[in-house]
């Protein structure tokens, strides 16, 4: 039998996506409070086979919705926020006014801190120091009925400033509000295009892996103006 001229290659991916490196989505069973996840589901629904409820499989058909970029460094006239900088509700209100935005139910709100611009300018640093939302922003997100929260960091400011709670925004939006999270986005290209167009909202599409029982997924969201 003659040898074929057709070759090929294959890969096996093993990705520990939670943390400060990979762009990923957190779903409801990723966090609990006093033994309960969103909708009062007990953490006993999470076992060695995964999450029986509240897993990423709920989003297997993908996400298509309105996205809003909150460019906080641009608001403050800088290229990036320094690690540990707190973002307050007053900052969010000021950007909404400056950018002539309207935020409503179903929106993905994306918080740019300039994390990757700072890395390009100054190099890597300890991710336990990150600019991000202070706990008081949780009420702002609830009042605006935000559907999904994303950022170029981990949403929360690090350190959080709240004794004994490292990531209060994470816990509040996932457990209390039923608001999934997009972590570690690269918002630099989006920021530049939004500034060029002077338009800070766009279509967001994203398709997480349809992995039954998973607490989240690697993700490649796309902004379309």
Cα–Cα dist 21/95, whole Å: 27
- CA–CA separation, 141 and 158 (whole Å): 19
CATH of domain 24-224: 3.50.30.50
Burial class (CB in 10 A: 0-12, 13-18, 19+), 59: buried
| Rounded alpha-carbon distances, angstroms, from residue 214 to 49, 55, 58, 65, 92 | 9, 5, 10, 23, 32
**How far, in Å, CA of 38 to CA of 61, rounded?**
20
Global confidence as pTM: 0.94
Number of neighbouring beta carbons within 10 Å of residue 188: 16
Report the distance separating Cα 180 and Cα 171, nearest Å: 11
As a whole number of angstroms, the distance between CA 83 and CA 115 comes to 8
Q: Is the dihedral of CA 25, 165, 52, 213 positive or negative?
A: positive
Per residue of the chain (225 residues), what is the pLDDT tens digit?
Answer: 667 899 999 999 898 999 999 999 999 999 999 999 999 999 999 999 999 999 999 999 999 999 999 999 999 999 999 999 999 999 999 999 999 999 999 999 999 999 999 999 999 999 889 999 999 999 999 999 999 999 999 999 999 999 999 999 999 999 999 999 999 999 999 999 999 999 999 999 999 999 999 999 999 999 999
- Calpha distance 158→187 (Å, rounded): 19
């Amino acid at each position: 039998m003659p040898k074929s001229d057709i070759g090929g290659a294959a890969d096996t991916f093993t990705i520990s996506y939670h943390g400060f490196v990979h762009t990923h989505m957190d779903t409801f069973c990723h966090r609990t409070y006093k033994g309960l996840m969103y909708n009062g589901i007990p953490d006993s629904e999470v076992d060695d086979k995964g999450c029986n409820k509240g897993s990423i499989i709920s989003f297997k058909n993908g996400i298509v919705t309105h996205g809003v970029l909150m460019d906080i460094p641009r608001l403050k006239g800088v290229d990036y926020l320094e690690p540990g900088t707190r973002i307050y509700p007053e900052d969010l209100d000021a950007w909404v006014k400056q950018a002539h935005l309207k935020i409503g139910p179903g929106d993905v709100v994306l918080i740019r801190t300039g994390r990757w611009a700072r890395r390009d300018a100054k190099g890597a640093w300890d991710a336990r120091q990150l600019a991000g939302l202070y706990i008081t922003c949780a009420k702002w997100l609830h009042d605006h009925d935000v559907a999904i929260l994303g950022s170029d960091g981990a949403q929360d400011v690090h350190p959080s400033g709240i004794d004994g709670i490292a990531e209060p925004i994470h816990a509040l939006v996932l457990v209390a509000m039923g608001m999934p999270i997009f972590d570690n986005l690269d918002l630099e290209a989006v920021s530049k295009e939004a500034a060029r167009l002077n338009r800070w909202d766009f279509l967001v599409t994203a398709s997480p892996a349809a992995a039954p029982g998973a607490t989240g997924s690697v993700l490649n969201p796309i902004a379309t103006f």
